[in-house]
Amino acid sequence: MPYLKLRDGAELFYKDWGNRNGAIITFSHGWPLSSDNWENQMVYLADHGYRVIAHDRRGHGRSTQTWHGNNMDTFVDDLEELFAHLKIKDAVMIGHSHGGGEVTHYLGKHGTNRFKKAVLVGAVPPLMLKTSANAEGLDKSVFDSFRQAMHKDRAQFFLDVPSGPFFGFNRPGVQKSEGQIRSWWQQGMNTSFKSAYDSIKDFSETDFTEDLKKINIPVLVLHGDDDQIVPIEAAGLKSAKLLPQSKLKIYKGGSHAIHNINVDEVNKDLLDFIKS
C-alpha cells in the first residue's frame, strides 16, 4: 500500500488504481471517513479507463494520527505534496462533504493549474455555521452536540450518525443497509479521536466563500434536497451561485450520502461531466 512521507514526517496513505496512462481523477472523503467511502466511484471510473487516486486525510484511515494540523490549511498543503509527488495534471478533483471543503480550499489556495474540472458532492462550502450573514446555516449548538456526543460515547455516536441522518435511514419507507452503517462505523473508528474532534470545527466554521469565487474551472455541484447533515439551502445552492462556472444538479429526496445511496445515478453524472 503506497504512503507518502510529508514535510513533518507524517505519512499519507493513498490509493492509485486503474489505467496508469489514463486521465486522472482524485477523490477527497468526508468526515470522519477514509478513501474507502469512494470505492464505488473509483472502481466504476477505473473500469472506464481512468486513473483514480484517493487519500486518507491525515489522522484518518491509514494515515498518521498527528496531534496537530487537523485544519483545512494543513489538509490542502498535504494534498499539494501528494499531487506534486504523483505529477498530477489535467485532472478532475472530486470531494464529498468535508472533502468538498478540501477541494474548494485547495483550488482557492493552490490554484487550478493541476485541474481542469471539479465536483462537489454534498459539500460543506460556503459555510455551515449560522451567522448574522448566513441565516441558512446551522446553529453552533448542533456542532457542540457532536463534540459532546464524542466525549460521552464516540463508538455509539458513530453508530447513530450512519443509522439515521447520514444515509437518510431515519426517513419513512427507506430500506436501511446494515453494511453501510458498519462500514461507516469502521471508517470512523479508524480515525483518531483528536482528528475527528478537531475536524468538527474545521468543517463547520471554515468560510470557503472567497475560495469559491477564485475557482476558474467548471464545477459540478451535486446535492440532495433532503440532506440532513449539510442542508442544501446553506451549501449546494449557495456554492453554485458563487462559483464562476457551476452546474448544479439537485437529487430529489437525496440524502447526504448520494454517492453511496444513488450509486448508479451519481456514477453516470460524474462520467458524463468528466467526458463533456
Q: Minimal CA–CA distance to 226: which of 145, 268, 149, 172?
A: 172
| DSSP tally for the chain: helices H, then strands E | 10, 8
Does the active-site annotation cover 256?
A: yes
Ordered strands of the 115-121 beta sheet: 3-5, 11-18, 51-55, 24-28, 91-96, 115-121, 219-224, 246-251
DSSP helix/strand/coil, 250:
strand
Q: Measure the N-to-C terminal CA separation of the chain; round to a whole number of Å.
A: 33
Catalytic choice (56, 202, 211, 227): 227
Alpha-carbon distance of 23 to 270, in angstroms, equals: 14
* Three-class DSSP category at 59: coil
Residue 227 annotated among the catalytic residues of the structure: yes
Catalytic-residue membership of 97: yes
Sign of CA dihedral 32, 105, 204, 161: negative
CB 221 within 8 A of CB 238: no
Catalytic residue of the set 55, 60, 98, 256? 256
3-state secondary structure (DSSP) of residue 15? strand
Q: Which positions are annotated as active-site residues?
A: 97, 227, 256
